[in-house]
Amino acid sequence: MGRGWITAAGAGALVGMAGAAFRAAVEIHGLAYVENGTWWLAWSVLSRPLLRAGAAGAAVALLASVVLSALPVARRELARVPALRLPRAALGILALVGVCVALEGPGERLRAQGHASVVLVSIDTLRADRLVASRMPRLHALADEGTSFTEAVAAAPWTLPSHVSLLTSLLPFDHNVRTMRSTIPPSASMLAERFRDAGYQTAAFTGGVYVGSAFGYGQGFQLFEDHDEEKEGGSGKLFRHALDWARRTRGRPFFLFVHTYQPHLPYREAGGRSFTVAEAEESYAGKGCRTPESRAQVVALYDADVRATDTAVGGFLEALRGAAGLDDAVLVVLSDHGEDLWDRWSSHAPGHGHAVYQELIHVPLVVRAPGRVAAGVRLRTPVSLIDVAPTLLDLCGLPRDPAHHGRNLANALRAGREPATGTQLAENVEYGPERFTVREGDLKVILADLKVLHHGMPLAALPLEVYDLARDPGETDPTSGRHAPGLGRALALLGSRQRKAVGAAAVPASERLPEEVREQLRSLGYVQ
């Protein structure tokens, strides 16, 4: 009996102390801001299982110590066992194990101290051209306090693959989350995991559906709340919960991800008219919105929803500033994609997910971090949303994630100067022929795979379009960029992405989505 207790206690001591020692070594490494992805990943993989095993051993050890201390008779009997003739030393070892395991949480907080908190806000379906003072005064004023990337590109023109790209820094045909049947695999390296493993408190409050836990977004978040903004009467509850969490977490570095479906369909004017999903479906079928006047009314409703979004998000961020030290945080505001408001299509508008033209992939991207990011700067070099994750890690002094494919823009943000010209890719549509696009400077090339149709929709598409966005920003002449330098390189890159798509593993069918998720999809117009 006695030997069994001491064996368990000893095992717990050894495992717990090994885990604590390894963790302490990497904590010191992390505090030194040494960028070494191998160390970082080794710590993430090994230290937590060691500490969990140590915690189990410590529980057994503590129980043994209670028995030894509280039962004098049993203690005298067990003292006859040679291994237990030095109970004070044994209890000292047990106490050391308990301390090692108990320090796991404080050790994480110690490592995170001195690092900036992060607030990442995603406004679904917000076109880049709407972030102006006349339509979004609160967020435009906030943008003036930081740096705006005026030519940011989303990785996909619809919510699911675009958000997965944002949080993994991978393109859709690299992370392979491309249809409503696919979910984020546990092996994916998510941005929240990097912050959690650095000792940050992590939480997400989202509008659910394509940014919901059913699709696997919860990885790395200690708290993840799905909301249904349709049922809840707007985004108010979502923002209140996010603000309450930030208040409770004040004083400790945190990573807070907030997503709202405003101003996604259905569009609403505060206290007035609305444009419903059913009306949008009539428009797709050519039965509604057939005159310029009727379309202008719908665009006005979208803009009214944009103004309401500015009030909701701006109010949340202003409250967060007072309640949880926003001025000490790195704040990022962006959108996952834009919206086609009859910019070129007579069908499938208003909506998104069917093309990769500028109105659908040109998105706002604002970074505000006093003392860390230049203020009042607008950078015009095209960048991608897959650049956000590596940039945030650098701004917070955390090691890079070797799984990231995006560029680190932190130096450009700190100096307020244009980053080097790079190549921005977007791919994967939800409806119609599969499309791929590349942008380098003002050159934009679109390749459509007319053999691959999503939802069986043969929407009008040219196999190849080449634009010079400086001369043709509205993408009206599909040959305007035919003489642009770098065209051959762009075509070769798109060809390689298309070949990757053809060779990509088939997306496995996941289990049937929960009925409440399907109901949300219906309310947003994604399924019948």
User: In three state form, how does the secondary structure of 19-73 look?
Assistant: HHHHHHHHHHHHHCCCCCHHHHHHHHHHHHHHHHHHHHHHHHHHHHHHHHHHCHH
How far is the first Cα of the chain from the last one, in angstroms, to the nearest whole number? 65
What 8-state DSSP symbol labels residue 208?
A: B
| 282-298 average pLDDT score | 90
Whether the per-residue pLDDT at 223 is higher than 80: the answer is yes
Sort 144 into a burial class: Cβ within 10 Å, 0-12 / 13-18 / 19+.
middle
User: Residue 384: which of 151, 160, 173, 210 has the closest Cα?
Assistant: 151
Does position 91 have pLDDT exceeding 60, yes or no? no
| Cα atoms in the Cβ-side hemisphere of radius 13 Å centred on 523 | 17
Q: Are strands 432-440 and 443-454 parallel, antiparallel or unpaired?
A: antiparallel
The first and second tokens of residue 249, run together, are 């977490």
Sequence ranges of the domains in the chain: 2-111, 119-422
Burial label, 456 (beta-carbon count in 10 A; 0-12, 13-18, 19+): exposed
Cα separation of 437 and 460, whole Å?
A: 16
Q: What pLDDT, on a 0 to 100 scale, did the predictor assign at position 10?
A: 55
**CA nearest to 389, candidates 257, 237, 204:** 257
> Degrees (nearest 5) of the Cα angle 125, 127, 132?
130
What b-and-e string marks burial along 36-45, b requiring 16 or more CB atoms within 10 Å of the CB? eeeebbebbe
Q: Compute the chain's Rg from CA coordinates.
A: 27
Lowest mean pLDDT among 226-235, 318-327, 427-436, 517-526: 517-526
Inter-residue contact 136 to 310 (CB < 8 Å): yes
Assign 3-class secondary structure to 223-280: EEEECCCCCCCCCHHHHHHHHHHHHHCCCCCEEEEEEECCCCCCEECCCCCEECHHHH
**What is the distance between the alpha carbons of residues 125 and 231, in angstroms, rounded to a whole number?**
19
Residues linked to residue 17 through DSSP beta bridges, in sequence order: none
Alpha carbon distance 520, 279 (integer Å): 17
| Per-residue pLDDT band at 348 (split at 50, 70, 90) | confident
The three-state (H, E, C) secondary structure of 339-388, written as one string: CECCCCCCCCCCECCCCCCHHHHEECEEEECCCCCCCCEEECCCEEHHHH
- pLDDT confidence bin for 58, thresholds 50/70/90: very low
Q: Going by C-beta distance under 8 Å and a sequence separation of 6 or more, which residues neighbour residue 410?
A: 391, 394, 395
Q: Which residues of 127-143 are buried (b: 16+ CB within 10 A; e: fewer)?
A: bbebbeeebbebbbebb
pLDDT per position as a tens digit, 8-32 = 555 555 555 555 555 444 333 333 3
Confidence of residue 324 (pLDDT cuts 50, 70, 90): low
Which two tokens mark 239?
């923002």
Mean pLDDT to the nearest integer, 75-82? 48
The secondary structure element, H or E, covering residue 427 is strand 424-427
Read out DSSP for 429-487?
-SSEEEEEEEEETTEEEEEEEEEEEETT------SEEEEETTT-TT---TTTTTT-TTH
CA–CA separation, 325 vs 327, rounded Å?
A: 5
Nearest to 164 by CA among 229, 212, 119: 212
Tokens 């490494």 — which residue? 29
332, amino acid identity: V
| Helix-then-strand count for the chain, H and E | 17, 17
pLDDT tens sequence across 301-315: 999 999 999 999 999
What pLDDT was estimated at residue 6?
52
Dump pLDDT digits (tens) for 452-510.
888 888 888 899 999 999 999 999 999 999 999 999 999 999 999 998 887 664 544 44
Q: Is 316 helix (H, G, I), strand (E, B) or coil?
A: helix
pTM of the entire structure? Answer: 0.79
What CATH homologous superfamily does 119-422 map to? Alkaline Phosphatase, subunit A (3.40.720.10)
CB 115 within 8 A of CB 27: no
- Mean per-residue pLDDT over the chain, rounded: 82
Q: How far apart are alpha carbons 494 and 496 in whole angstroms?
A: 5
